[in-house]
Amino acid sequence: MDECDRILENLDMRRDVQEIFRATPHEKQVMMFSATLSKEIRPVCKKFCQDPMEIYVDDDTKLTLHGLQQYYIKLAEAEKNRKLNDLLDVLEFNQVVIFVSKVSNMLFML
């Protein structure tokens, strides 16, 4: 979850995240990202994780993994879900991270 602090500070969005967690298997990998994680929201984030680990990055050049391939495609909003499904069908991957701007944009994936 990118910008986890902003998402979990908003009570409506926090409820949405709780619903997603209830609808998914108990055993799962959870990753939360934030450049501005406050002391107040840190315990809330940890409640969503089993054995949480914090990683601090002190150098922007360390933010991209060596060998990582990233893609960007500019699409109209109505085309995005279909294109994502098409890509997931044809690309070979072990893990994938998909960033969305709103919870409603990812509900079709559940």
Q: pTM score, two decimals?
A: 0.57
**pLDDT of 40:** 92
**pLDDT of 19:** 92
State the pLDDT confidence band at 71, using cuts at 50, 70 and 90: confident
Is residue 84 a contact partner of residue 98, using CB atoms and an 8 Å limit? yes
Partnered with residue 33 across adjacent β-strands are: 2
Structure tokens at 96: 């994938």
Residue 9, pLDDT above cutoff 90: yes
* Domain boundaries of the chain, sorted by first residue: 4-109
Residue 103, pLDDT above cutoff 90: no
Cα angle at 54 between 4 and 95, to 5 degrees?
A: 70
